[in-house]
Structure 1
């Protein structure tokens, strides 16, 4: 009984000390900085979503894939993935371009969800995504804002 207690205590201390080995990291700062049209298929539209990714940490962030989901006005609109790989050095930033697809059915859902008095400007959006980086290196992020569709090009 005493050995079991001692073993349990040892395992608990080891598990607590293992958590201390993982460094505390500040969250990445990720903002949507633009969209560009891409060639599309029959019932879909495709865009390249440009993200500014800032690493406020004192360690390099290595990534090997990106995934995005975009909601507009509280409804799913677009999703995309990319197998981009790279490194984001400490205290630096980069622009990533991720292709996303919007199906005709998503556009129809969005259209049906708008009230007759609601304009297409200033619709709220939520962008959720992740930068893949292995078992302990994957970083999830969320960006919220409103769409500004005035002018000749769409900006966020």
Structure 2
């Protein structure tokens, strides 16, 4: 019985040391040689637009400047139009960006513009005047001891450029 308890303790310690030594590979994400990847919103496509619900597809590109591959395990985001939060959510897409490489990925977004209709109609009254937009997000990198890379993109859209004649 005593022998069995000691064997279990020894095996537990060996597993603990094995786990700790295995984490050395993850340390490259937290060490000083880590460079934040560049994340860009490349495109926004309207998938479906109905009165009460709209579906968009946001396309991103992530560039990894590091000499090691970068695991990505998701994205948190919020989209604002004229200071009105249109959508927020989380994508659990997971992939690995190769060293000094890039990867493109899509994030589906669903929103309901009906509750913001008054502000949107007011902004669209002058179709030649730009409307500010803002996209904020955080890409979650690494597996066990990862970090979040924050991003923000501001810009303007001119509604008249998107209204068919």
| Shorter-chain TM band | 0.5 to 0.7
Report the secondary structure of 2:120's partner residue.
helix
Q: Under a length normalisation based on structure 1, what TM-score does the superposition of the two structures give?
A: 0.67
What is the Cα deviation at residue 43 of structure 1?
1.8
Q: Are residues 135 and 72 of structure 1, via their aligned partners in 2, closer, same or farther at CA, if it must alter by over 3 Å?
A: farther
Q: Name the Cα RMSD after superposition.
A: 3.2
Q: Are 2:103 and 1:94 aligned? A: yes
Report the secondary structure of 2:68's partner residue.
coil
Question: What per-residue deviation string (whole Å, max 9, x for no partner) do you get for residues 31-61 of structure 1?
Answer: 1111122246762111110011111122211
Residue-pair matches, total: 134
Q: 1:142 aligns with which of 135, 151, 154?
A: 151
Instruction: Look at both structures and tell me which one has the larger radius of gyration over its CA atoms.
Output: 2
Range 135-144 or range 45-54, more displaced: 135-144
Query: Do the aligned residues in 1 keep the contact of 2:65 with 2:99 (CA within 8 Å)?
Result: yes
Q: Which runs of 5+ in 2 are unaligned?
A: 1-26
Q: Which runs of 5+ in 1 are unaligned?
A: 1-19
Q: Are 2:39 and 1:23 aligned? A: no
What is the Cα deviation at residue 100 of structure 1?
0.9
Q: Are 2:54 and 1:45 aligned? A: yes
Report the secondary structure of 1:146's partner residue.
strand
